[in-house]
Amino acid sequence: RMESRVAETRAAGGQVRADDNPESFRRRLGEYREKTAPLASYYAGIGELKKVDGMAGIAAVTAAIDGLLGAG
């Protein structure tokens, strides 16, 4: 999917990040799995993990985050 998205962006005259390639993606995903993903278990364990449906519309996601942060 990444390769087709990059090709479409280039074909449309858009700019692509230098690290927008499968190798860099694998490295970033590995870093996420090693360093970031374990935090979900930690925060769930202490009752502080909050979930937001990131596939919802922008306004809904914003409202959900604002509500969790007490900004809404």
pLDDT tens track for 38-62? 999 999 999 999 999 999 999 999 9
User: In the prediction, which pLDDT does 68 show?
Assistant: 95
Cα-Cα-Cα-Cα dihedral of 12, 19, 26, 51, to 10°?
-80
The lowest-confidence range among 24-28, 31-35, 45-49, 63-67 is 24-28
How far is it, in rounded angstroms, from Cα 14 to Cα 6? Answer: 9
* Number of domain units in the chain: 1
pTM for the predicted model, two decimal places: 0.56
**Which structural domain range is residue 47 located in?**
2-69
